[in-house]
Structure 1
Amino acid sequence: MIQFTTEQAYLWLNSFIWPFFRLLGLVATAPLFSESSIPKKVKVGLAALIAIVIAPSLSDMPTLPTGSYPALLLGIQQILIGIALGLIMRIVFAAVQTAGEFIGLQMGLSFASFFDPATGSNTAVLSRFLNLVAMLVFLALNGHLIMLQVVFRTFEILPIQPGSLNSNGWGVLLEWSAQLMISGLLLALPLIIVLLTINLAFGILNRTAQQLTVFAVGFPISLLVGLSLLTVVIPQITPFLMRFFDSGYSAMLRMARGLAGL
């Protein structure tokens, strides 16, 4: 007859539940995994499956009673770590969407928006289109697998143990959030320069030839030039996105080291 003690039950449960909490936080915020089109049960099942797979390779877990307050605090801590790791990669795609907002504003397509279930708000058409392009590049580069590999490394850098987290890790997250505007503007900069030059030229033309209806002429030209530039720029953004994804993976590791006080 097989017998096991309460301590063994806690050991088996803890070896699964603490990694599960961190992965659950990641799945809730990380790109691709957090899409609203994926059912919540599938997300929870995916986090549980990954936790079961990686649990045997992790270091010894703290032997805390699952129903105790220290265990509750440890679970909340792991969820926050997973959410922060997912937010770092979410900022990468938010920067791409910001670039679409900049481009659409210069092209006159800022009013062309529709409800995006992923964000729960109205999103510009170009933002949604560039986000799809970035997601396809992410999948083509196996970015989702690399992101999971980086998360597995965080278990070595930041092992699961009771205690407070170093504030330097949250500082890394705040510092990385600046890429939302910086990288978004860099991605949209070629089109912004050309379209801004066209708008300035139409402004000068409006002052010199006031009988010309600039709004009737300028909008189709700005739209045509913007679409022509997009056909040239979009095939060339893959190297930029590759470097941006690599920077996101590095930021995840820096944040883990910062939370661990390294």
Structure 2
Amino acid sequence: MIDVQIDQLYAWITGLLWPMFRIGGLVMLAPVLGESTVPIRIKVGVSVALTVVIAPLIGPIPAIPPGSYAGLLIAAQQVLIGMALGFCMRLIFTAAMMAGEFVGLPMGLAFASFFDPATGANTAVLSRLINIVAMLLFLAVNGHLLMLDGLVRTFEILPIGASLHADGWGALIDWSGQIWISSILLALPILIVLQTINLSLGILNRTAQQLSVFAVGFPITLTTGLIMLAIVLPRSSEFLMKLFQDGYQTMARIARGLAGL
């Protein structure tokens, strides 16, 4: 007969509860797993399944009652840590969508937008296209597994119950600033060509005013943009993989900053 004491039951629950808060915070905002199109039940199920697998790999858990004030504080800390790590990787795909916005405006496709359930707002077609390409590449290179591996390593750097330092939030803010630069660099080859064409059309409009630039320029910029997109997009995989690698390193930097290392 198996005899389970109430203290043992509390220890098992606590051993799964604290890691699940951090894992759940990551799943809420992480790419692929945290998409708004994914039902809440699936996110909760994935969080529980990951917790069952990851919990034995974690060190000792503080013996604090979950219903106490200290337990609620630890729960809030773990959710914030997981959300910071997930948001770190989410910013990479935000940069891909921003690159689509930058390219779509000079191409004349800024008006071609539709409601995107992932963002809850109208999104340009090119933004959605580049985001899907980045997401497929993320899955192809097992980026989701590397992200989970980085999450497991944060339990070694930042154990459950440790006090948080402000340096980690500063690392996250610095990373968000780099995303603006990355989005511009991703769209820069196409932007240079399209801006050159627009400049040439502007000069042509001043020299041959009888020529309707709006009638001629739109098909030229649209066709050139699509050709450049077909050339540049397949070659952007190395750039996106470099962003993924920088995202994993930033996750570790955030965890070290929160731990005060």
User: 2:226 corresponds to which residue?
Assistant: 227
Matches of 1:222 and 1:213, distance apart in 2: 14
Matches of 2:186 and 2:95, distance apart in 1: 9
Q: CA offsets, 1:125-167, max 9 Å, x none?
A: 0000000000110011010111001101001111101x53100
SS of the residue corresponding to residue 38 of structure 1 reads coil
Letter in 2 for 1:60: P
User: 2:138 corresponds to which residue?
Assistant: 138
**Residue 159 of structure 2 is aligned to residue 159 of structure 1:** yes
User: How high is the TM-score relative to the length of structure 2?
Assistant: 0.98
Q: Contact 1:93–1:131 at 8 Å: present in 2 too?
A: yes
Q: Contact 1:97–1:130 at 8 Å: present in 2 too?
A: yes
User: 2:254 corresponds to which residue?
Assistant: 255
Matches of 1:169 and 1:121, distance apart in 2: 30
SS of the residue corresponding to residue 178 of structure 1 reads helix
Identical residues among aligned pairs (%):
59
The structural deviation recorded for 1:56 is 1.3
User: 1:81 corresponds to which residue?
Assistant: 81
The structural deviation recorded for 1:8 is 2.1
Matches of 1:92 and 1:37, distance apart in 2: 19
Matches of 2:64 and 2:180, distance apart in 1: 43
Q: Contact 1:93–1:134 at 8 Å: present in 2 too?
A: yes
Matches of 2:14 and 2:60, distance apart in 1: 9
Letter in 2 for 1:248: G
The structural deviation recorded for 1:106 is 1.3
List gaps (5 residues or longer) in structure 2.
none
Matches of 1:160 and 1:99, distance apart in 2: 38
Matches of 2:18 and 2:197, distance apart in 1: 56
**Residue 63 of structure 2 is aligned to residue 57 of structure 1:** no
Letter in 2 for 1:59: G
The structural deviation recorded for 1:53 is 1.0
The structural deviation recorded for 1:19 is 0.5
Matches of 1:57 and 1:192, distance apart in 2: 47
User: 1:2 corresponds to which residue?
Assistant: 2
Matches of 1:180 and 1:258, distance apart in 2: 19
Q: How does 1:113-192 map to 2 (within 5 A)?
A: 113-161=113-161, 163-192=162-191
Matches of 2:9 and 2:164, distance apart in 1: 28
Letter in 2 for 1:15: G
Matches of 1:148 and 1:238, distance apart in 2: 21
Q: Contact 1:10–1:63 at 8 Å: present in 2 too?
A: no
SS of the residue corresponding to residue 237 of structure 1 reads helix
List gaps (5 residues or longer) in structure 1.
none
Matches of 1:66 and 1:176, distance apart in 2: 33
Matches of 1:49 and 1:71, distance apart in 2: 22
The structural deviation recorded for 1:36 is 2.0
User: 1:199 corresponds to which residue?
Assistant: 198
Matches of 2:206 and 2:37, distance apart in 1: 51
User: 1:95 corresponds to which residue?
Assistant: 95
Q: Contact 2:163–2:259 at 8 Å: present in 1 too?
A: no
The structural deviation recorded for 1:181 is 1.1
The structural deviation recorded for 1:119 is 0.3
Q: Contact 2:106–2:191 at 8 Å: present in 1 too?
A: yes
User: 2:23 corresponds to which residue?
Assistant: 23
User: How high is the TM-score relative to the length of structure 1?
Assistant: 0.97
Letter in 2 for 1:104: G
Number of aligned residue pairs: 261
Letter in 2 for 1:215: F
Matches of 1:224 and 1:91, distance apart in 2: 30
Matches of 1:227 and 1:166, distance apart in 2: 47
SS of the residue corresponding to residue 32 of structure 1 reads coil
Letter in 1 for 2:228: L
Letter in 1 for 2:186: L
User: 1:110 corresponds to which residue?
Assistant: 110
How large is the Cα RMSD of the aligned pairs?
Answer: 1.0
